[in-house]
Amino acid sequence: MKVGLVQLAPVLGNPQATLAAIDRLLAGVALPELLVLPELCNSGYNFTSMQQARDLAEPIGDSAFLDHLQRICSRGGCRIVCGFNELADNQLYNTAVLLGPDGVIGKYRKLHLFLNEKDYFQPGDLGLPVFDLGCCRVGLLICFDWFFPEVWRILALKGADIICHPANLVLPGLAQRGVEVHAMTNRVFVILANRTGREGDLAFTGLSRIVDPRGDVLASAAAQQEQVLIADIDVGKARAKHITPRNHVLDDRRPAEYRLLAELHEQKKAE
Ligand code: ACM
């Protein structure tokens, strides 16, 4: 199947301009079956106040931004994953929405909030869902989630073939290396759709990439260019979890030994 991403600089407070940039970048492109856009695409990232974050949030069921993306899905017969500033029950969530031609298929709310996000967003409360699209099973992570190996493992154990990873990365070069390792150790495809540009004191790092289950980069973007990447993938490679005839990346695990993870965490909190 064909998968892809759009690397661009969403415009803080101007979703129309962001949609115009997405349309311009996708003009003439044969749309892949699954396309990933960066984190917080409908709002921008570096809010200066809670009021601004709130003014730029939308409910998933009432979003002109998502309606526009759904029209792209209908036109191209594709699915889109988009980072979204979500307003729900009077709270904000840093969310990734999975859309298809018929509307919203599912969503994930970011578990690990980064820096000032902690001032604006509630931590995710929907766990780590995996969506079966028929052609593949998709898991979702958002930006700083990449730092926590546990979430990649859980998505792999839940059967994800492809992890879609909208991002607004600011720590130069780290996540781009990290996702290659997480792809390799979990034998999954990763579509890291990062953004470019600056907002206030933050410079975003681009270098979006599509990585295969060996950790090899199938396509990569430049640091500061708006661009579309497409790659042809064989989903079966994510389901071949043997690394030798006698070693399986999931079945060889020793979960009884890993119970310490939770125990040590509790101990540390109590200290
Ligand atoms: C990030 O989580 N947006 C760095």
pLDDT tens sequence across 153-190: 999 999 999 999 999 999 998 999 999 999 999 999 99
Residue nearest to atom 3 of ligand 1 (CA): 168
Q: What one-letter code names the amino acid at 170? A: V
Q: Model-level pTM?
A: 0.97
Ranges of each domain in the chain: 2-243
Residue 113 Cβ contacting ligand 1 at under 6 Å: no
| Ligand 1 atom with minimal separation from the 143 CA | 2
Instruction: Give percent of the chain above pLDDT 90.
Output: 98
- Please name which of 94, 72, 81, 110 lies closest in space to residue 5, comparing C-alpha atoms: 81
Residue 39 Cβ contacting ligand 1 at under 6 Å: yes
Residue 143 Cβ contacting ligand 1 at under 6 Å: yes
Mean pLDDT for the stretch of residues 50-56: 98
Residue 194 Cβ contacting ligand 1 at under 6 Å: no
Q: What is the Å distance from ligand 1's center to 142 Cα?
A: 8
Residue 92 Cβ contacting ligand 1 at under 6 Å: no
Q: Which two tokens stand for residue 3?
A: 């998968």
Q: Span 2-243: which CATH code?
A: 3.60.110.10
Question: What is the per-residue burial (b if ≥16 Cβ within 10 Å, else e) of 185-203?
Answer: bbbbbbbbbbbbbebeeee
Mean pLDDT for the stretch of residues 190-204: 97
- Please name which of 36, 53, 40 lies closest in space to residue 9, comparing C-alpha atoms: 40
Contact 40, 168 (CB under 8 A): yes
- Known catalytic residues are 39, 110, 143
Q: What is the mean pLDDT of the chain?
A: 97
Contact 193, 38 (CB under 8 A): yes
| Ligand 1 atom with minimal separation from the 142 CA | 2
Report pLDDT digits (tens) over 40-49: 999 999 999 9
Q: Per-residue confidence at 270, pLDDT binned at 50, 70, 90?
A: very high
Q: What is the Å distance from ligand 1's center to 75 Cα?
A: 31
Residue 141 Cβ contacting ligand 1 at under 6 Å: no
Residue nearest to atom 2 of ligand 1 (CA): 144
Q: Per-residue confidence at 222, pLDDT binned at 50, 70, 90?
A: very high
Does 64 have pLDDT greater than 90? yes
Q: What is the Å distance from ligand 1's center to 38 Cα?
A: 11
| Ligand 1 atom with minimal separation from the 171 CA | 4
Q: What is the Å distance from ligand 1's center to 166 Cα?
A: 10
The residue written with tokens 């803080």 in the block is 12
Does 198 have pLDDT greater than 90? yes
Q: What is the Å distance from ligand 1's center to 178 Cα?
A: 14
Using CA atoms, how far apart are residues 12 and 5, in angstroms rounded to an integer?
20
